[in-house]
Amino acid sequence: MAGTGMAPTDTAPFTLRRATGTLAESAAKLAGDIGATSVEALLAQANRTAVRRGASATMGGMKPRPADWYAFDVKDQATPDWYPQGVTCGEESGAFGAPVFLVTWYFKPDAGERGIRVSFLSPQTLRYRHALLVQATPDGSYAPIDIHAGGVACHGHLLYVADTVRGLRVFDLANLLDLRTVQNDLGDPARAGRADGRFHAFGYRYVIPQTDFWRVAQPGARFSFVSVDRSGPAPMLVTGEYLEDDPGGRVARWPLGLEGGAPADAYVLGQPKVQGALSWGGRWYMSQAADAATNGRLLVHDGGRVAARPYPIGPEDLTVQDGRLWSVTEFRNKRVVFGVAL
């Protein structure tokens, strides 16, 4: 279906209800048993190297090319198991001592579920490292989380991860846990959790337990992506819906903190295949996907009109850092974090 402009819509379907349950208590227990570290310390132990302006096939026929981009390493480019989806940054957080991009990935195979992970990438050193996002349990163990993780936003130390049909999962980066503080190895690479006095995380050194949950109050709304608008007097959390061939996907905005769970406003996007959306400076920006061989588009809604800009292949979630609009691409051998002018 053809796209149209954005239009206001009912906010009620996006109302959230807080559902912390035992999450905070279980995460605190796990953090007490393992011990927390910092994002800066993780970056100092980064074990992978990105390539500046690598994986150039991602750009397809895009002209001009992005202002800058960082490609994941050969192993992460080639894997058919993990797909990058969400992106946020240190500037969005405001809580880190160094520039950093955070990228969520989901595990695609049906068999041998490995959950979701987040990459911490330094644009200064080009070094990065993955950490496993987990759900802690009251008995002091934890388990992987089987969701799509289509978007991620960061405010302070809190990560908001999109859970498509349930709402927003929250992870506190103050609980970034380093397994090396309590054991000399990284445990069994084929399992995750606590067993026989040891911790396992599919071979990852770092785990981050979920601390909170904002669940959609009624079925129907989808949480496909998430971002933060920091251009106004107060930051706003933005979420929206991906619909394949239907321009009826919606987007909603909340004052950060999500007090009460009710959105401030909501709109019909008027465009199909929107993988990420962000309001900034009175404009709406939308990343629109195609397929693994076709360039996407950056759609900019400014009042009553929608303008299309060239974009790489496979664009996803959106964030803003250093005055640029950044996204991440998902397809094999075309996986980069890239920035363009706002």
Amino acid 151 reads G
Backbone angles phi, psi at 30, to 5 degrees: -65, -40
Characterize the bridge pairing of strands 51-52 and 198-201. Answer: unpaired
- CA distances to 12, 180, 183, 249, 320 from 257, in Å: 18, 33, 36, 24, 20
What pTM was computed for the model? 0.97
Name the class of domain 7-341.
Answer: mainly beta
DSSP3 helix / strand / coil % (the chain, rounded to 5): 10, 45, 45
Dist. CA 133–CA 116, nearest whole Å: 6
Label residue 2 by pLDDT band (50, 70, 90). Answer: low
Instruction: Using the structure block, give the residue that is written with the tokens 């800066």.
Output: 40
pLDDT tens for 257-295 read 998 899 999 999 999 999 999 999 999 999 999 999 999
| pLDDT exceeds cutoff 50 at 1 | no
Using the predicted structure, report yes or no on whether residue 207 has a pLDDT greater than 60.
yes
Query: Tell me: the pLDDT tens digits for 45-83?
Result: 999 999 999 999 999 999 999 999 999 999 999 999 999
pLDDT tens digits, one per residue of 294-342: 999 999 999 878 999 999 999 999 999 999 999 999 999 999 999 999 9
pLDDT in tens, 114-168: 999 999 999 999 999 999 999 999 999 999 999 999 999 999 999 999 999 999 9
For the chain, domain boundaries: 7-341
pLDDT > 80? residue 216: yes
